[in-house]
Structure formats: C-alpha cells, structure tokens
C-alpha cells in the first residue's frame, strides 16, 4: 500500500505538472471541454492523450510490481525493469509523457504547447544521458550494458532482439 501511495504522489506531482498542469496553462483554454471548434484534429488528439497515459501507467505498474520502486530517482526500482514496454524502448515512461503533451498540443492547436513539448523532450534526453544512464550503469553493470545494446533509448531498434 505504501508503494502505491508513493507512486500516486509522484505521478500527481511530477508527470501531473509536466504533462497536464503546464500544458493546460500554456494552451489557449478557457476551461471548456471539449474546446470550441471541435473537429477531426481534436478527435485525433485523443489517441496520443490516451496512449501516453496508458504507457505511463503501465510503466509505473512495472516499476512497482517488478522493480519494487517508483519513477522518483530517490526511490528508484531495486531491480532492473526489462519487461513490458521496457523490452522495446529504454525510456517508455518519458515517451508516454511526451505523447500526452503532444495530445494537448493537438487538442488545443497550440504552438506554445508544441514548443513546450520540444523543451521537455530536450530536458528528458539530457537527463537520461547525463544522469540516468550513468547511474544505471553503476547500479546494474553488465546487465544494463547488454540491455542498452539490445534496446533503443527512444525508439525500438529494427532487426534487434528484445531484452528478456
């Protein structure tokens, strides 16, 4: 139960702010759902919003159920998570958050949210390369190195085996 609460709290504070609160503050939104002028683009926005949310929640589940931790760096999983979406991409949780931001950008047809998403993507990339990957190499050693060779950082690798 404590692990569930820690994951819920982290999700509400960090991804909740990054993927929901800030995009809604940047978007030309008057608190109306659906926004005025609903059309095909807004309907299409539901796909990345739903997919990104599902990706994030699936990853949190794997972190808790298998890794026995949370997405928070101070309470990271104790085991290297190589299951679920992590078999295909090393950072699916970040991809999920970016999909949600893209969904808001489409929903509100907002260039400001698109720009914000680009800044968030750059921050994610720098954080992964400078902080997360060295930390995981130090913690999990060869198994993480092997995982990096088999699984792409941001997109699945064509013709490569998946991590087991």
Residue 155 covered by a domain? no
Residue 158 covered by a domain? no
Q: Would you say 83 and 71 are in contact if contact means Cβ atoms under 8 Å apart?
A: no
Instruction: State pTM to two decimals.
Output: 0.90
Residue 50 covered by a domain? yes
pLDDT digits (tens, 9 = 90+) for 79-109: 999 999 999 999 999 999 999 999 999 998 9
Domain carrying residue 131: 2-150
Q: Where are the alpha helices (DSSP H) in the chain?
A: 2-16, 22-26, 40-65, 92-108, 111-127, 133-140, 142-150
Cα separation of 103 and 111, whole Å? 12
Residue 159 covered by a domain? no
Q: Torsion over CA of 136, 141, 143 and 148, rounded to 10 degrees? A: 50
Q: Would you say 93 and 59 are in contact if contact means Cβ atoms under 8 Å apart?
A: yes
State yes or no: pLDDT of 3 exceeds 90.
Answer: no
CATH at residue 18: 1.20.120.1630
State yes or no: pLDDT of 34 exceeds 70.
Answer: no
Tokens of 47: 């796909």
Residue 164 covered by a domain? no
3-class secondary structure per residue, 127-164: HHHHHHHHHHHHHHCHHHHHHHHHCECCCCCCCCCCCC
Work out how many domains the chain is built from and give that number.
1
Residue 124 covered by a domain? yes
Residue 9 covered by a domain? yes
């Amino acid at each position: 139960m404590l692990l569930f609460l820690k994951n819920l709290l982290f999700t509400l504070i960090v991804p909740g702010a990054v993927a929901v609160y800030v995009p809604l503050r940047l978007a030309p939104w008057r608190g109306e759902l659906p926004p005025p002028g609903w059309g095909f683009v807004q309907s299409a926005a539901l796909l990345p919003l739903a997919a990104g949310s599902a990706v994030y929640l699936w990853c949190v589940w794997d972190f808790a159920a298998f890794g026995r931790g949370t997405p928070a760096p101070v309470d990271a999983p104790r085991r290297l998570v190589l299951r679920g979406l992590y078999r295909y991409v090393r950072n699916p949780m970040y991809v999920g958050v970016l999909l949600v931001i893209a969904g808001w950008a489409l929903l509100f047809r907002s260039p400001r949210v698109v720009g914000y998403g680009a800044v968030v993507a750059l921050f994610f990339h720098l954080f992964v390369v400078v902080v997360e990957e060295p930390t995981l190499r130090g913690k999990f050693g060869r198994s993480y190195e092997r995982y990096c060779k088999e699984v792409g950082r941001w997109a699945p690798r064509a013709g490569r085996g998946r991590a087991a």
